[in-house]
């Protein structure tokens, strides 16, 4: 941490800062510049962010953290990529893993038909929402436990592991009985009670980036899950909120290489929520493959125009098949394969 | 709802849209313009958003909702302002209500000293966090139930009702035994499981706007609470996330008149989280009073530089007293008073 | 400047950084921490930003500037507030200066009627656009020089000095013959050719903040004008672009105290462009007065519904009169007056 | 245009709106719904946006435009893709065109060495700034006309056409004597005086998207150039401003398919300014190729660490060669080629 004093800071103000540094168990190191004094804080990091304690100290102009606040998820702590395994599937390895399925589980036929088709096209994991976070209390809220049972049936028939969303700490245990991967939605990225519970869920977690979350906050939320005992976290970029209204969100594809520098966790892209528009899903899926994403999570529905949620961004089955053929070719260039 | 067809849409595409409109129980009304046909959807609103169903229909260019999606919280449904009452305190009436206290309850002396002082200065409600949503798992997470007991003790001594944050649906009942108002933090604005539970909590709820939430989404979250049985919702603006980094967030003060046009719920401003910087709290509190906020929620700490959380934005006791004197004068201009 | 080395940086990488520091004429100062080495760059600032030169150096993790990049506009260089004088009007002093008038000059009667009325209500400066930056090439582009002549006539009749926009370096001299204050619109905040020319215009400049400009960039643009010879710069906040769509922009009122800490230049608020909606202008004008703005610039039109531009946000004459009465009372609280 | 009346609008308010519609030369078409009346405005579009005229009319709740405001650049007006030709180079055709070179022209050797190398690697156009828009007045502002001469010399030697930035309407003619393509920077996207002048420049224009510009505004700026006589406009996405700070901007790659739906103009991606970081340029260039960009514009410098501007994001010559090899393979998948 670096504490920059104001150019007119007094000696006693500088000493005040140094004393507080010592009180916290660090060593202050003064650097006298031409225009101001800077106090560098030296010592073994204790995992606590002290920057805000100094910002209002008399004579202080600015405080800058040097250390990244995350540890367990950092590449510096663990340089080899984490591979999250579900049976014989390895997320973070040479295979680009595609997860596909409807936004919501709606009926037995709907989920079975989709599961068979996406498997046929090369998807390795079946997605489907049973508990749905909906902006309006009047919209379809999901089939809940009944939906989980239908997902489990689709897994039995197709062999595809299933990923589904968990919205609340209360539901973690129950949903973990059915699901192979627990998904945290963008709106819950900083639901810390939920994150702590997921640390003890015994299932891999796919964590979506919040709509206005920085990459640092995203990694801190992953750190919560890992610090509470669960190393199997998959990061998912699904678009951030900007002023642009032509797409529902702005997909921040640069996160793939940025995250790969900062963390060892695998990174998956969701082109469906990122755009909200069916015709944009395949183009962004190709770009995601080209930039090195470890996987994709895509909404697919047999009859999107009749979907109870997110139909506008769902691919139908032939569109998904076409998308997969394209993604396969892009993945191949980087020595990756798609089933 | 208005469905604008593409300029080259065929008759059969137009008819396809009209059929789907009828299937949903509405009447299609075609308007043939010079360059395109527009289909207006007429009929009694059913509280479900169908816009996304139409956006990918063949021949459709654009779909626009006309109806606001919220109902119970709308001024159109209830034109008189809602007054939320806690004992003899009325939020939404002629008194500008100030809620003050530390970010976190840290100790018995800290909360008691603060409670006495803020009461003396005119605060009507004591705030204090016992369950703390912290970005880092390594930061202080709050005293939890012990903190609630200290808040209750401060209430017994000072008579000030207490407001405290609830982070998870699981905790609602327990916290409602202690608190007079339940606070939902910005990160939980779309924690729908929590919102539903708060509909049955039997306590007023202060709902903070999410960091990147539109006003419409904010009101939809309030709608969740009201639709699940709890009419006593207080809206709180606490700054939104923008590209600007000089302040922690950007306080969107225009929400006060905008919300007053759209909803009957009272609106409170949080100048502490909005800026993250002590010296900016009083200026924004004055502006909030001038623009007609129904209340303020302000972080106050006897020794901010030793606070375990958010010290940088906490006022000390004399600063709070000074702020109150100023706010009182601004409130008076509009015929409002501060205790 | 602080250069933080990676935790695994080699000695020769650290030495490479130090050598480049010396080559630039500064002294490197190494601080060996527990986990990494930090190189502080010491020496007299030369007004050039070198941070980007270091960020890709081998072994470098992060580079942080300590010095603010602006000088002439900084409070550290000149602690007393700048007062911009136009005749007997002082912007930045005890009087809160209101500038009012139509978005565009449209006709002789329109500008004269408006000028008389806003003067009567207490405006001290007449605004009116002759060269209009319009998003669409098909929209009304302003009366150009004819508009300037009408403004000059309104000044002769009412005695009000005039402010009008200059869109291009080519037009500066010509417009400076008519106008008392030259306005730079948000879209031109970083039109550096224009800024340089305004440094030699011999007229005060009102510089609007760009729609997505940080406060630092805003001050750097002011620095351009001052560095090229013109000390009379008035800063104007007019709303920034965010995800919110209920208002045209989000007015960032915190800039008033933030700018007052950083710079000596006066700060004016434009509540018309900030919201785009007539009913929100007076509420935000009151808030601006309460937070200590040095002035307001407000769009007023005798018949807003027939305005050729920005009618939706223009006040009519009685609304402006009502607004002024309110603003006057708020200004008075802080010992300020409005004519 | 659709004018939605409030649910309690009176008959005379509805009639007032209809009268104004007629006065503008359109036909009002009333639709009486269950809860409100909607007035559809029918008639031949006149290219003027009237929405803001209606928003404050008594009884009006909301006004929505149906027509896109741009015409000449629209796919509806011209469905075949525009190919911008410079000699034998065709931008918008089957070849993915790469433009490369230094941020600033700094010296004869620097630009000649770069030109030779990028040509060797497959670049088809040489970029280089002579007039530089710099945030700080104290930073290097470019070699100006001397830089243009050096660019012309590099063209003579290598045969590469040159693209360079024009910052002001005054400079258009002079720069057009040297340059093959005139570049408009993000900060000047809404410098309408410049755009008009470029309409008569007789040279193709590469228009960069503003940092916070919507796609609609971006196309309106292109419309300015085309409407003033110049059909050869190339659109360039270079990242937009968001809350994220890990990258300089957020590259919005979805614009490629979105623009391809809306306009016939070619679309080029700038991965250098989008990220501000060298290591991210090649990954985003690959993604841009995968999503179907018509070209790339990339900063390349023989010794980036000594660059006078933007060194942090410049590739050195071997990095550029490596990037080109990768881009070539991605382009090939879609049947495109790179020289």
In a mutagenesis test of the B interface, which of C69, C287, C293 is the best target, namely the one with the most B β-carbons within 10 Å?
A: C287
Chain C closest-CA separation from residue A256 CA (Å): 19
CA angle in degrees (0–180, nearest 5) for C290-C296-C300? 125
Nearest by CB to C76, from A7, A34, A42: name it: A7
Whole-structure pTM value: 0.94
Taking the C-alpha atoms of A306, A307, A311 and A314 in order, what is their torsion angle to the nearest 10 degrees?
-110
Chain D closest-CA separation from residue B112 CA (Å): 39
Distance from C-alpha of D166 to C-alpha of D168, rounded to nearest angstrom: 6
pLDDT in tens, A241-299: 999 999 999 999 999 999 999 999 999 999 999 999 999 999 999 999 999 999 999 99
Q: What is the pLDDT of residue A171?
A: 96
Distance from C-alpha of B122 to C-alpha of B321, rounded to nearest angstrom: 8
Q: What is the pLDDT of residue A48?
A: 67
Cross-strand bridge partners of residue D298: D100
Q: What is the pLDDT of residue C152?
A: 98
Q: Which tops the pLDDT comparison, D2 or B281?
A: B281
Q: What is the pLDDT of residue C48?
A: 67
Distance from C-alpha of C287 to C-alpha of C275, rounded to nearest angstrom: 13
Helix (H/G/I), strand (E/B), else coil: A87: coil
Cross-strand bridge partners of residue C5: C60
Distance from C-alpha of C97 to C-alpha of C105, rounded to nearest angstrom: 21
Q: What is the pLDDT of residue B50?
A: 77
In chain C, the largest separation of any two C-alpha atoms, in whole Å, equals: 76
pLDDT in tens, D147-200: 999 999 999 999 999 999 999 999 999 999 999 999 999 999 999 999 999 999
pLDDT in tens, A81-129: 999 999 999 999 999 999 999 999 999 999 999 999 999 999 999 999 9
Distance from C-alpha of C189 to C-alpha of A3, rounded to nearest angstrom: 32
Buried b (16+ CB within 10 A) or exposed e, A268-278: bbbbbbbbbbb
Q: Which residue of C has its CA nearest to D314?
A: C56
Q: How confident is the model at residue C239 (pLDDT cuts 50, 70, 90)?
A: very high
Indicate yes or no: CB of C136 within 8 angstroms of CB of D212: no
Indicate yes or no: CB of A66 within 8 angstroms of CB of C241: no
| Burial class, C93, CB count within 10 angstroms (exposed 0-12 / middle 13-18 / buried 19+) | middle
Q: Which chains touch C (3 or more CB pairs under 8 A)?
A: A, B, D
Q: Which tops the pLDDT comparison, A25 or D84?
A: D84
Distance from C-alpha of C199 to C-alpha of C226, rounded to nearest angstrom: 6
Indicate yes or no: CB of D35 within 8 angstroms of CB of B44: yes
Chain C environment of D171 (Cβ under 8 Å): 193
Give the domain ranges of chain D.
2-64, 84-333
The percentage of chain C sitting over the pLDDT mark of 70, rounded to a whole number, equals 99
pLDDT in tens, A27-47: 898 888 878 888 988 887 666
- CATH code linked to domain A2-64: 3.30.70.1140
Q: Could you tell me if C217 and C205 are in contact, meaning their C-beta atoms sit under 8 angstroms apart?
A: no
Q: How confident is the model at residue B45 (pLDDT cuts 50, 70, 90)?
A: low
Indicate yes or no: CB of A34 within 8 angstroms of CB of C40: no
For D173-176, which contacts have Cβ atoms below 8 Å and span 24 or more sequence positions? D173/D201, D174/D145, D175/D130, D175/D131, D175/D148, D176/D201, D176/D202, D176/D203
Answer CATH for D84-333 from 3.20.20.70, 3.20.20.330, 1.10.490.10, 3.65.10.10 = 3.20.20.70
pLDDT in tens, C276-330: 999 999 999 999 999 999 999 999 999 988 888 888 899 999 999 999 999 999 9
In a mutagenesis test of the B interface, which of D6, D33, D34 is the best target, namely the one with the most B β-carbons within 10 Å?
A: D33
Please say if the pLDDT value at position D129 is more than 90. Answer: yes
Please say if the pLDDT value at position B53 is more than 80. Answer: no
Q: What is the pLDDT of residue A323?
A: 98
Chain B environment of C250 (Cβ under 8 Å): 240, 242, 250, 252, 254
Q: What is the pLDDT of residue C84?
A: 98
pLDDT in tens, A172-220: 999 999 999 999 999 999 999 999 999 999 999 999 999 999 999 999 9
Please say if the pLDDT value at position A55 is more than 90. Answer: no
Q: How confident is the model at residue D46 (pLDDT cuts 50, 70, 90)?
A: low
Please say if the pLDDT value at position A67 is more than 90. Answer: no
Chain D environment of B246 (Cβ under 8 Å): none
- DSSP assignment of B97-148: EEEEE-SB---HHHHHHHHHHHHHHT--EEE-BSS---SSTTS----THHHH
Distance from C-alpha of B234 to C-alpha of B218, rounded to nearest angstrom: 11
Nearest by CB to D243, from B42, B45, B242: name it: B242
Any idea which residue has 């308007």 for tokens?
B31
């Amino acid at each position: 941490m670096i504490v920059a004093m104001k150019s007119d800071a007094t000696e006693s103000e500088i000493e005040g800062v140094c004393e507080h540094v010592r009180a916290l168990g660090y060593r202050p190191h003064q650097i006298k510049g031409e225009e101001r004094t800077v106090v560098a804080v030296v010592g073994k990091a204790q995992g606590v962010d002290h920057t805000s304690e100094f910002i209002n100290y008399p004579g202080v102009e600015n405080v800058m953290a040097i250390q990244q606040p995350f540890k367990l998820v950092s590449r510096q702590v663990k340089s080899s990529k984490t591979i999250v395994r579900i049976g014989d599937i390895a997320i973070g390895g040479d295979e680009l893993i595609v997860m596909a399925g409807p936004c919501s589980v709606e009926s037995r036929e709907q989920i079975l038909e989709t599961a068979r088709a996406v498997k046929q096209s090369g998807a390795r994991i079946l997605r489907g929402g049973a508990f749905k976070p909906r902006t309006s209390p009047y919209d379809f809220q999901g089939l809940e436990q009944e939906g989980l049972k239908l997902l489990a049936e689709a897994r039995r028939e197709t062999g595809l592991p299933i990923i589904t969303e968990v919205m609340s700490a209360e539901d973690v245990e129950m949903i973990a009985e059915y699901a192979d991967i627990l998904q945290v939605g963008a709106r819950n990225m900083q639901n810390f009670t939920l994150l702590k519970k997921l640390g003890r869920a015994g299932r891999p977690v796919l964590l979506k980036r919040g709509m206005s979350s920085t990459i640092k906050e995203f990694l801190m939320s992953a750190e919560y899950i890992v610090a509470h005992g669960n190393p199997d976290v998959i990061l998912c970029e699904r678009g951030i909120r900007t002023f642009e209204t032509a797409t529902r969100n702005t997909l921040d594809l640069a996160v793939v290489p940025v995250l790969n520098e900062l963390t060892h966790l695998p990174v998956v892209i969701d082109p469906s929520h990122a755009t909200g528009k069916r015709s944009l899903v395949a183009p962004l899926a190709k770009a995601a493959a080209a930039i090195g994403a470890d996987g994709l999570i895509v909404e697919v529905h047999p009859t999107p125009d009749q979907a109870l949620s997110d139909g506008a961004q769902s691919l139908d089955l032939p569109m998904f098949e076409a998308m997969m053929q394209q993604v396969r070719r892009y993945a191949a260039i980087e020595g990756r394969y798609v089933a």
